[in-house]
Structure 1
Amino acid sequence: MPMPPLVEPVEALSSAERARTARHTSLARLGEIGQRRLAAAHVAVVGAGGLGSPVIFGLAAAGVGTLTVIDDDVVEASNLQRQVLHRLEDVGMSKADSAVRVAADLSPETVVHVRRARLNPDNARELLDGADIVIDGTDTFETREAVAAATEARGVPLVWGTVQEFDAQVTVFWSAPPAGHAPVLLRDLYPSGSVGEVPTCADVGVLGSVCLQVGALMATQAITLLTGIGEPLLGRVLVIDALSARQWEVPLRGSAVSSTRTVAAPSSEIESDAAPSAPPVPTISVEELRERLAAGTDTVVIDVREDAEVADGMIAGARHVPLRALLADPAGVVDGVGTPDRTDTPVVLVCRMGPRAERASRALHAAGIDSAVLGGGMLAWTDAYGPSDLRAGAEIRV
């Protein structure tokens, strides 16, 4: 159900702002009073990256009066595929500074406060002070927990989203919602200690356009909460599968309401009676794999990283098959290996940390081929043995 608006409206819009936001004020449920509420609002955006970029674009264009942008990072060339706030000439510059330029270009009356700091449990409450709503666009779970704790303590809503590969989740957490609405917190979705090591975009990749889609949804959630229109995602998790163009909702109950929680896995797969989690993928330790190779035991090692990654070296004797090629033809990739009418040579899959190798292993399993994943990936291998066991990463087509 709709909720009361978070902010009182400003007394009036300037003539320039009325002209700029005319298509908003003509919306029956938003109208001029809703636009004046946006002008009065203060939104804190944590992270000016893949999700923060479209959020900042959306809120500045919508006419939000004050934005606080918190980010201590600088722009890198690899950011530009998804972090559309930034331009090629911004490489090496502060990400937060891009928000100032965007607001000036789109909404001159929006005030942007830049905080070039890494949010942590010690400074979170200070950095978020004064915000009517907080939007979390960060990419580490430690920071997400710090943001959530600060918003819970202040009782302000937290719009939350995450993207990995082609999948995403969006929801709203709020420790002190209006009467008639139950509190829902981050730990209701991800209980403390349940996440483990979450792979980064560098590990598994992310489709840039999905970041735009999710960031736009997050900006819309903020607008509905600020103006008191629509039905925010409090108590619901929106799950997006971009490759199948499907979206669905999973109900999420706060622990204060029910001891039964719907828990989302870090890979964006929702655990529920209707969608059981996939069985664990077998793993092999770096020590065991090295012993096998040193003893000359028949083992097929397949490295599923990209060309640029293997250029720094692969495990000696490994075959290079990028993940995309393996997924396109799982059975053909390991011809002569692993099925009843083939040899029983074990297959070990390797990537940087493990998530891509797990995905490859599931694809092989579906094709009737058993395999294991190198636990910890190449990072664990090089930590244990250094680069001496690596050779130049020439690609081997199979």
Structure 2
Amino acid sequence: MTPLSPEEERRTARQTLLIGRDAQQRLHNAHVLVVGAGGLGCPALQQLVAGGIGKLTLIDDDVVDLTNIHRQILFGAADVGRPKAEVAAARVRDLQPGVQINARRERLTSDNALDLVAVADLVLDGSDTYATKYLVADACEMTSTPLVWGTVLRFHGDVALFHSGADTPDGRGVGLRDLLPSPPSDTATCETAGVLGATTSVVGGLMATTALGFLSELDAPVGRVTSYDAFPPLFRTLTVGADPARPLVTHLPEAQKTSAIARWPSAVLDIREYEERLLVELTPPPGTRLVELPLSRIHDDAHVANALRELDADDVGVLCSLGKKSAAFALRYEELAHTCGARLHNIDGGARVLGS
């Protein structure tokens, strides 16, 4: 156990008055793994360090984008293009120069998840995809590591503390899969549906508060889920119990190989809205014809027919942000395209695939 330095004692003095020296020492000795330096990870990191967490591991493979800054409060305009993990670590050290932080510019995968999770006292999941969230939750269950889980979308967010696995007090505990056995079918994301920046700070703050409460032993409400709505302001809480019929997770899925970048079709109909195009700007290669036709501007079949005639191609790829809207579009207008001498096909994976 490393005692608090005089500087750390002074910095956290007003909090120590509230929670006591023993609790503050526990925070100082704790090691937290933070997955993702995004809208949730940034405010959570800020509050964890300000609260006295002594050691952090941060993993994020992305770089700062201009569209991140409205909600990812550790970044500024001058950081655009820089690795998020490195920038966030530098900001954290400004808050507390004595903190130990290991910034890893890489993606959490089935290959590294167990090793990273097993050595942490608690994991805070600030990731933004269900694939990563279930990978984190499963790794935490396999290693019996406490997990602070959070999600945010539009004006809404959820926060929960899970602790499941064979080495929990009752040998079972409560995990994410007791609440949601499998990923929800709704694939809406902040990229496609939007998010209020201030909401991510509220939810990230709740995640940090939950982590600090657990690690300091002030409060440990395993299985409690708190939901927050910004407009009108509302908090709701429920408690999740273990599903005795659900077997504990015993293995992670095999690591997926990175897929090859999709080839650009010779003709593309881009049905994204203006705001979606700002998030992922595409530059078609030479020889590719591109027509933009936002879904909101399609009032009748004539709009689609005119766009297809403008493309003047036998085969047209339909593009949206993620690939779901474009798949529905291609199916809906299949016959109309045929009358225009064209065949529609969906660009699976959407704009992110072509822009990667």
TM-score by length of 1: 0.64
Secondary structure at the residue paired with 1:146?
helix
Identity level (%)? 39
2:210 to 221, 224, 249: 221
Name the counterpart of 2:179: 189
Name the counterpart of 1:117: 106
Any gaps of 5 or more consecutive residues in structure 2?
Answer: 248-270, 279-290, 301-318, 332-342, 347-356
Name the counterpart of 2:189: 200
Change in Cα spacing, 1:85 to 1:307, as seen in structure 2 (3 Å) is closer
Name the counterpart of 2:325: 377
1:302-349: CA deviation from partner (whole Å, max 9, x where unpaired)? x994566599323697149xxxxxxxxxxxxxxxxxxxxxxxxxxxxx
Secondary structure at the residue paired with 1:385?
strand
- Contact 1:52–1:215 (CA under 8 A) maintained in structure 2: yes
- Contact 1:188–1:252 (CA under 8 A) maintained in structure 2: yes
Name the counterpart of 2:28: 39
Tell me, in whole angstroms, the C-alpha distance in 1 between the residues paired with 2:8 and 2:154: 38
Pairs within 5 Å for 1:224-243: 224-232=213-221, 234-243=222-231
Secondary structure at the residue paired with 2:231?
helix
Secondary structure at the residue paired with 1:243?
coil
Q: CA deviation at 1:179?
A: 3.7
The aligned amino acid for 1:385 is L
1:152 to 137, 141, 147: 141
Matched residue count: 281
Tell me, in whole angstroms, the C-alpha distance in 2 between the residues paired with 1:167 and 1:181: 33
1:123-178: CA deviation from partner (whole Å, max 9, x where unpaired)? 21123241100000111111111111111111110000000101111101111476
Q: CA deviation at 1:183?
A: 1.2
Q: CA deviation at 1:381?
A: 2.9
Name the counterpart of 1:67: 56
Tell me, in whole angstroms, the C-alpha distance in 2 between the residues paired with 1:51 and 1:316: 31
Name the counterpart of 1:312: 292
Name the counterpart of 2:6: 15
Q: CA deviation at 1:353?
A: 6.8
Tell me, in whole angstroms, the C-alpha distance in 2 between the residues paired with 1:159 and 1:139: 14
Change in Cα spacing, 1:152 to 1:241, as seen in structure 2 (3 Å) is same
- Contact 1:99–1:112 (CA under 8 A) maintained in structure 2: no
Change in Cα spacing, 1:251 to 1:316, as seen in structure 2 (3 Å) is closer
Tell me, in whole angstroms, the C-alpha distance in 2 between the residues paired with 1:66 and 1:126: 16
Q: CA deviation at 1:376?
A: 3.2
Q: Which 10-residue stretch deviates more, 376-385 or 99-108?
A: 376-385
The aligned amino acid for 2:229 is D
Change in Cα spacing, 1:208 to 1:35, as seen in structure 2 (3 Å) is same
Secondary structure at the residue paired with 1:55?
helix
Secondary structure at the residue paired with 1:114?
strand
Tell me, in whole angstroms, the C-alpha distance in 2 between the residues paired with 1:308 and 1:95: 22
Tell me, in whole angstroms, the C-alpha distance in 1 between the residues paired with 2:77 and 2:121: 33
Q: CA deviation at 1:189?
A: 1.4
Secondary structure at the residue paired with 1:72?
coil
**Does the alignment pair 1:80 with 2:69?**
yes
Tell me, in whole angstroms, the C-alpha distance in 2 between the residues paired with 1:238 and 1:220: 12
Change in Cα spacing, 1:318 to 1:23, as seen in structure 2 (3 Å) is same
Tell me, in whole angstroms, the C-alpha distance in 2 between the residues paired with 1:34 and 1:139: 31
Tell me, in whole angstroms, the C-alpha distance in 1 between the residues paired with 2:344 and 2:64: 33
Any gaps of 5 or more consecutive residues in structure 1?
Answer: 1-9, 260-302, 321-350, 355-374, 388-398
Q: CA RMSD in A?
A: 3.0
Q: CA deviation at 1:243?
A: 0.8
The aligned amino acid for 1:244 is P
Tell me, in whole angstroms, the C-alpha distance in 1 between the residues paired with 2:174 and 2:202: 24
- Contact 2:272–2:295 (CA under 8 A) maintained in structure 1: no
Change in Cα spacing, 1:381 to 1:66, as seen in structure 2 (3 Å) is same
Q: CA deviation at 1:98?
A: 1.9
1:24 to 15, 33, 44: 15
**Does the alignment pair 1:96 with 2:44?**
no
Secondary structure at the residue paired with 2:149?
strand
Q: Which 10-residue stretch deviates more, 306-315 or 145-154?
A: 306-315
The aligned amino acid for 2:177 is R
Secondary structure at the residue paired with 2:173?
coil
Tell me, in whole angstroms, the C-alpha distance in 2 between the residues paired with 1:258 and 1:128: 22
- Contact 1:46–1:136 (CA under 8 A) maintained in structure 2: yes
TM-score by length of 2: 0.72
- Contact 1:82–1:211 (CA under 8 A) maintained in structure 2: yes
Structure 1 stretches of 4+ moved >6 Å: none
Tell me, in whole angstroms, the C-alpha distance in 2 between the residues paired with 1:163 and 1:100: 23
Change in Cα spacing, 1:251 to 1:128, as seen in structure 2 (3 Å) is closer
The aligned amino acid for 1:187 is R
Change in Cα spacing, 1:313 to 1:12, as seen in structure 2 (3 Å) is same
